[in-house]
Structure 1
Amino acid sequence: MPMKTIVCLGLALAAAVAHAEEPPVFHRYAITPLVGGTGFEAYINSSGAIAATQRSPDRAFVWTSPGQRRFLDIPIAGKPAVSGINDAGTVVGQVEYQIDPSSLSAGAYIANANGTYVNIGAAFPSYSLAHYVNNSGTAVGEFGTVAGPEKAFIYNNGTLTTVGAENSWDGIGFHAINDSGSIAGSQRGNRTGVFTAFTYHDGQFTYLPGLGGTVNSVHDIDSAGTVVGGSNFSGDAYGHAVMWRDGEAIDLTPGFAYSTTAFGLNDLGQVVGTGSGPGWIWTDGRVAQLNQLIDPASGWSIDSAFDINNAGQIVAHGCKAMLTECGVLLLDPLGLVPDPPPVPEPSTVLLLLAGLSVLFAGRLHHR
C-alpha cells in the first residue's frame, strides 16, 4: 500500500477516534403537544411560557402548562399572529385584516400580561409588523408607508422612534433586540431583491457578511450580540442557516444538502431552525435533526423548530403520520445522549423546496 494512502487512512482513523471521544452535547427530548396550538408561529420565554396561535377560531394565547392557556383578546379586528414573548409574559405580533377582496394588511400590537394592549399599528395606516420584544418591554419591527418603502420602528413605554434605510437601500426592518438594546435586522436593495443583514446600536449600522448570495435574513440575537438567520450561497439556488459572531458568518448546517434557516438561539449558544428538511438543533459546532432525538414511538415528526430558551426547552411544530394530527410541540430536554448518526438525505419532495428563499419565514421572531 502506498505511503500516502497509509497516512490518509491513519488521519481518517484518528479523526474518527477523536470524534468518538467527544463528550455528548445533545439531549433526548420529551414531547408535550400544545392543545389548540395549531399555527406556524410559537415562541418561548425563560420560564417556559409559550406564545402561540390557534385557528378556527383565530386566537392568540400564552400557554404555561397543560390545560393552562391565557387568551389574548386583542381589541383589533382580524386574524392575530404572535412574533415573540419576553420573560414578563408580554407578547408582540400583528393582526392581519382584509383591505379589499384581493389584499391583506397587518397592524402591530403589544399585549401585556396584565391584559392591557398597545395598538402600535394605529400609528401606521399602511401596515406594520412587530417582530420582537425584549425584557425591558422595548418592541421592534417594521412598517410601510403610502409614499415610500418600509421603515423600522422602536417602541418603548409610549415613545415611538422610526428609522429609515441607510444609503441606497430602500427598505428596512428591525427583527430582533436584546436586553442591551442591540438590534438585528435587514435592508433591501432598491428593486433588486438583495437583502443585507446588519446590527444596529446607538444609531450605528454594522453590516454582516453572507455566504456569497444576495439574500440574508435575520431572526434572533442573544445577550452577547450573536445573531442567527440564513444566507444564500452564490447563485441563490438555496441557502444555509448562519450564525454571525465576531464579524464572521458561520455555516451551521454544512452537511445539509438542502435549504436551512436558523430561527432561535439561547445564551448557551444552542441554535434551532428548519428548512426544506426536518427541524434541527446546533450546539458546540455539531448539528442533529430533532427527529433523531425524540422517541420514535411518539409518532411525531418535527418539521420546524422555532425557539429555544436558556433551559434548553424548544418550541417546535410537528405532525403525525399521514398528517392525522399537527400542532405546536414543547420539547423538554432529558439526559445527554451520544451524537446521532450523520444527517440523512432529504426526500425528493423536500428537495423540491430547496430553491425557496431563506426568507420564507422572515416574520418569525421571538422574545
Structure 2
Amino acid sequence: MAAIWSSGVQTTLAGPYSVAAGINNAGQVVRYKTDASVQIQATVWTDGIPNQLGSLGGPSSVAFDINNLGQVVGWGSISVASQHASIWKGTTITDLGSLGGNSLAASINDFGVIMGNSLVSGDFSHATLWNGNSIPVDLNNLMDSSGIGWTLTSANGVNNLGYIVGSGYNSLGQQKGFLLTPCESFTTLPWSGVAPVPGPLVCGGLPGLVFAGAILAWWRRKELTSFSL
C-alpha cells in the first residue's frame, strides 16, 4: 500500500496493490498502482492525486525515481516479455533503449543524468548511463583504472554532483556495493581508443561529463560493502 509520512503522520496514497518508491522536494511520489485489469502502471502522486503515466505499448510500467523538475524514470513494457528504460515528462514517455536486452532506469538527478541497468547478452546485466538522451552507455566503459577486474551490474542512484551508487562483482565473483566519484584528471584507459580531455571538466553542471562526439567521462570506483543475495 503506497503511503507518505509527514511529521510522523501517515497518509495512504492508494489501495493494497500499490507501492511508493521515490519522492522529490515538492512532495511528488512515484512507483506504481494497479489498473482496472490488475496490471501495474507507473504512477505519480501530486498532492495525493494519482496520475498513471502509461507504457511503451505493452501492458505495464513501473516508476522508480522523480527529480525536482518532475521528470520520472523507470521502465515501460513494449510487450509482455520486453521492457525498456523510460523517462516520462508529464505524461509523454520516451523509450531510452538498452544495451541489447531488457533495461530499466533507476535514478535521475536534476541535470537529467539517468542511471540504471541493461541486459547486454543473455542474462548479464551492466550498469548503464543515459545523459539527457536515449543513447545508453555502458558504465563499465567509463571507469578509470580502479575499475579493472570489476563488472558493474547496476547503478541505483546518482546525485547532482555526479556521485553514483550501485552494485557489481570483482574478478573473484564477490558482489560488492560501490560508490563512483567523477574523476578530475584523466589518463587513457586500456579499453578506450580515445585519449580523454584533461580535467577538471563540467558539462551541464555535472563534473566529469564532456562531449566530443561521444561521452568522455571517467569515474573512480570505491568499494562500499559486501552483501549476499
Shift of 1:225: 1.1
Q: What letter is aligned with 2:3?
A: Y
Q: Distance in 2 between matches of 1:190 and 1:250?
A: 23
Q: Go from structure 1 to structure 2 and tell me whether the alpha carbon gap of 1:110 and 1:159 turns closer, same or farther (over 3 Å shift).
A: same
Q: Go from structure 1 to structure 2 and tell me whether the alpha carbon gap of 1:245 and 1:183 turns closer, same or farther (over 3 Å shift).
A: same
Q: How does 1:126-141 map to 2 (within 5 A)?
A: 127-141=17-31
CA contact (8 A) 1:215 1:236 kept: no
The equivalent of 2:61 in structure 1 is: 172
Q: Does 1:111 align with 2:5?
A: yes
Q: Go from structure 1 to structure 2 and tell me whether the alpha carbon gap of 1:132 and 1:183 turns closer, same or farther (over 3 Å shift).
A: same
Q: What letter is aligned with 1:134?
A: N
Q: How does 1:195-274 map to 2 (within 5 A)?
A: 195-212=83-100, 214-233=101-120, 235-247=121-133, 248-254=135-141, 255=148, 258=151, 260-274=153-167
Give the structure-1-normalised TM-score.
0.46
- 1:185-206 per-residue CA deviation (whole Å, 9 max, x = no partner) reads 10123322x2201111122122
| Percent identity (aligned) | 24
Q: What letter is aligned with 1:279?
A: G
1:281 maps to which of 149, 162, 179: 179
Q: Distance in 1 between matches of 2:176 and 2:48?
A: 41
- Structure 1 residue ranges (4+ consecutive) displaced by more than 4 angstroms after TM superposition: 255-259
Q: Go from structure 1 to structure 2 and tell me whether the alpha carbon gap of 1:165 and 1:237 turns closer, same or farther (over 3 Å shift).
A: closer
Shift of 1:257: 5.4
Q: What letter is aligned with 1:243?
A: L
The equivalent of 1:144 in structure 2 is: 34
The equivalent of 1:188 in structure 2 is: 77
Q: Distance in 1 between matches of 2:149 and 2:61?
A: 30
- 1:46-73 per-residue CA deviation (whole Å, 9 max, x = no partner) reads xxxxxxxxxxxxxxxxxxxxxxxxxxxx
- 1:334-363 per-residue CA deviation (whole Å, 9 max, x = no partner) reads xxxxxxxxxxxxxxxx9xx8xxxxxxxxxx
The equivalent of 2:212 in structure 1 is: none
- 1:291-318 per-residue CA deviation (whole Å, 9 max, x = no partner) reads 5xxxxxxxxxx026xxxxxxxxxxxxxx
Q: What letter is aligned with 2:126?
A: H
Q: Go from structure 1 to structure 2 and tell me whether the alpha carbon gap of 1:268 and 1:177 turns closer, same or farther (over 3 Å shift).
A: same
Q: Distance in 2 between matches of 1:210 and 1:160?
A: 28
Shift of 1:228: 0.3
SS at match of 2:14: helix
SS at match of 1:279: strand
CA contact (8 A) 1:238 1:259 kept: no
Greater RCO between the two (CA within 8 Å, min separation 6)?
A: 1
Q: Distance in 2 between matches of 1:162 and 1:205?
A: 11
- The number of residues matched between the two structures is 182
Root-mean-square deviation (CA, aligned residues, Å) is: 2.2
Q: Who wins on radius of gyration, i.e. which is larger?
A: 1
CA contact (8 A) 2:20 2:29 kept: yes
SS at match of 2:166: strand
Q: Distance in 2 between matches of 1:278 and 1:289?
A: 10
Q: How does 1:58-73 map to 2 (within 5 A)?
A: none
SS at match of 1:165: coil
SS at match of 1:224: coil
In terms of fraction of residues, the more helix-rich structure is 1
Q: Go from structure 1 to structure 2 and tell me whether the alpha carbon gap of 1:129 and 1:282 turns closer, same or farther (over 3 Å shift).
A: same
Q: How does 1:5-16 map to 2 (within 5 A)?
A: none
Q: What letter is aligned with 1:111?
A: W
2:47 maps to which of 157, 162, 169: 157
Q: Which runs of 5+ in 2 are unaligned?
A: 142-147, 170-174, 183-217
SS at match of 2:86: strand
Q: What letter is aligned with 1:286?
A: W
SS at match of 2:140: coil
Q: Go from structure 1 to structure 2 and tell me whether the alpha carbon gap of 1:246 and 1:145 turns closer, same or farther (over 3 Å shift).
A: closer
Q: Go from structure 1 to structure 2 and tell me whether the alpha carbon gap of 1:225 and 1:256 turns closer, same or farther (over 3 Å shift).
A: farther
Q: What letter is aligned with 2:90?
A: D
Give the structure-2-normalised TM-score.
0.72
Shift of 1:148: 4.0
Shift of 1:259: 5.6
CA contact (8 A) 1:274 1:303 kept: no
Q: Distance in 2 between matches of 1:166 and 1:232?
A: 18
Q: Go from structure 1 to structure 2 and tell me whether the alpha carbon gap of 1:175 and 1:289 turns closer, same or farther (over 3 Å shift).
A: same
